[in-house]
Structure 1
Amino acid sequence: MGRFSSPLAVQFAAMGLDGVPADARVLDVGCGPGMLTLELARRRGADMIAAVDPEPVFVAATAEACAGADVRVAVAEDLPFPDDAFGAALAQLVVHFMSDPVRGVAEMARVTAPGGRVSACVWDHGGGSGPLSDFWRVAAGLDPAVRGEAALQGASEGQLVGIFQRAGLHDVTQSVVDCTVAFLDFDDWWRPFLQGVGPAGRYVATLDDVAVARLERALRDELGDTGFEITARAWAAVGIVG
């Protein structure tokens, strides 16, 4: 997923920082290994960036990669910052994993100064245009019990806007962000699924060898053996703190 997250971060950071004063601090909520944090630091300087993630291993990786940033272990629903501390708060590919998305976005608004921007984006899992939509569609064809990511909160058109509005943000707008990633061949695309990471990887890890081989064959038939590109779409929402 990092192959998609990095190019997505370039476009999402530009959206989230639009109109934000250069001297305002910026918060990355759910930073993971730091793709968005690094892009924000490239644009504003690491000393102007704070980031949080509930996983200590990600916090350590981001702090090492982005020296000078304030990186802490924390969940979105309970941010360790005072009110009005930032000019902008961004959450890339995080809202759908929050235990309480409305509370998480409301916390982002709390720590953002009046007039500041709160932004979030989520892959279009619901519309079948996410980076893993091909995987889940083929897997469901082989196993009707498969639960993909389409039902995750924020993963369909309009859902992020609803979450932002319930969190008390104003002038909420929705947009679409696309990014295209090239793969050398099928194996280049398939290997990460065998590492047990993320919902798709965890699903593959539950399968026996026969089922894994069957899924691989079906996906290979779908995507082919030679190089290909996948264009993924994300829904994005931006709201203003009142």
Structure 2
Amino acid sequence: MSNDQIRFDDGASYERYMGVWSQLVAAKFLTWLAPQQGLNWLDVGCGNGAFTEMIFKQCQPSAVTGIDPAPAQIGYARQRLADYPVKLEEGDAQNLPLDSNSVNIAVMPLVIFFVPEPAKGVAEMARVVAPGGTVAAYTWDMFGGGFPYSPIQKAITDAGVSVPYPPSIEASRMEVMHELWQQAGLSTIQTEVISVTRSFVDFADYWETVLGAPSIGPQLNAMSASKQQAFRDQIRATLPLDTNGQITLQAHVNAIKGIVAQ
């Protein structure tokens, strides 16, 4: 397991690799969250705006603020969300640039395992959410095979190639998240496993998608042409291709929500 940092610098590549998955999960997550309309939202680690856009589409918020540390992602999100009343800015999940009790709901989608000190991130969300408001998050179940690209990630590591993992990967465990929510003083904590499926047109579609991935793309692109072709054939043989060559994969997240004390 590598300690190299996973950098999300290309909004378009991220959209194809993870944004599509993110929106599939977001739709189900927001339904489970069942928020009232007209709330003031905070999207922590908003990335390229995939989840932020879903908030507007499903939840009729009064206002949304998106925070992310990557300038390139914020830039992409600004273009994507140009027609929405959203405030986007660079910021740190462990030191949110918001006043205490200033929003009704804070969400951290697919982000908590990238926060160096997850407890600080959850405490910050609890700080900026007003009493009676909601603090929620979801993350790929990294240890339970929930990550969409787990098979190819495992194949790469089995081949002796180092792959970077999120720095706080333990925070993807449901029991760890539950403990973090308790430590932050949140009540009425509820958890849910949310599963989604995504189809790729064919293997070429899948392969081009993973080549743009910040976590495994560089390792694949660094291989010699012959080694990459051999690895490509190996992966293709393990994927569930239907009679039309389409590939349908499943993934799941661990989701959690809690209430800020009145």
* Alignment partner, residue 232 of structure 1: 251
Q: Could you tell me how far 1:147 is from its partner in structure 2?
A: 5.9
How many positions carry a matched residue from both structures? 239
1:7·1:179 contact (CA, 8 Å) conserved in 2? Answer: yes
d(CA) in 2 for partners of 1:61, 1:145: 29
Q: Could you tell me how far 1:163 is from its partner in structure 2?
A: 2.1
- Provide closer, same or farther for how the CA distance between residues 240 and 202 of structure 1 changes in structure 2, counting only shifts above 3 A: farther
Counterpart residue identity of residue 216, structure 2: A
Matched, 1:86 2:103: yes
d(CA) in 1 for partners of 2:191, 2:208: 34
Question: Unpaired segments of 5 or more residues in structure 2?
Answer: 1-17
SS in 2 for 1:60: helix
Higher RCO (C-alpha under 8 Å, 6+ residues apart): 2
Counterpart residue identity of residue 53, structure 1: D
Matched, 1:51 2:70: no
d(CA) in 2 for partners of 1:159, 1:231: 23
- Provide closer, same or farther for how the CA distance between residues 151 and 208 of structure 1 changes in structure 2, counting only shifts above 3 A: farther
Scaled by the length of structure 2, what TM-score is found? 0.83
d(CA) in 1 for partners of 2:65, 2:148: 28
* Alignment partner, residue 174 of structure 2: 157
Residue pairs, 1:92-241, within 5 angstroms = 92-143=109-160, 152-195=169-212, 197-223=213-239, 226-241=245-260
Name which of structure 1's ranges 90-99 and 134-143 shifts more when overlaid on structure 2: 134-143
Scaled by the length of structure 1, what TM-score is found? 0.89
SS in 2 for 1:130: coil
2:110·2:139 contact (CA, 8 Å) conserved in 1? Answer: yes
1:94·1:122 contact (CA, 8 Å) conserved in 2? Answer: yes
- Provide closer, same or farther for how the CA distance between residues 88 and 38 of structure 1 changes in structure 2, counting only shifts above 3 A: same
Counterpart residue identity of residue 104, structure 2: G
SS in 2 for 1:140: helix
* Alignment partner, residue 38 of structure 1: 53
d(CA) in 1 for partners of 2:28, 2:255: 11
* Alignment partner, residue 6 of structure 1: 23
- Provide closer, same or farther for how the CA distance between residues 198 and 168 of structure 1 changes in structure 2, counting only shifts above 3 A: farther
- Provide closer, same or farther for how the CA distance between residues 53 and 234 of structure 1 changes in structure 2, counting only shifts above 3 A: same
Q: Could you tell me how far 1:87 is from its partner in structure 2?
A: 0.9
- Give identity over the alignment, percent: 27
Q: Could you tell me how far 1:228 is from its partner in structure 2?
A: 1.9
d(CA) in 2 for partners of 1:56, 1:69: 16
Counterpart residue identity of residue 40, structure 2: R
Provide, for residues 68-103 of structure 1, a one-character-per-residue CA deviation record: whole Å limited to 9, x for no partner: 201111111111110111111011100011111110
Name which of structure 1's ranges 205-214 and 36-45 shifts more when overlaid on structure 2: 205-214
Provide, for residues 183-237 of structure 1, a one-character-per-residue CA deviation record: whole Å limited to 9, x for no partner: 1111111112223x32122332443434322321210111166212111100011
1:21·1:87 contact (CA, 8 Å) conserved in 2? Answer: no
2:112·2:168 contact (CA, 8 Å) conserved in 1? Answer: no
d(CA) in 2 for partners of 1:100, 1:44: 30
Name which of structure 1's ranges 205-214 and 90-99 shifts more when overlaid on structure 2: 205-214
Counterpart residue identity of residue 87, structure 1: N
SS in 2 for 1:158: helix
Question: Unpaired segments of 5 or more residues in structure 1?
Answer: none
2:187·2:259 contact (CA, 8 Å) conserved in 1? Answer: yes
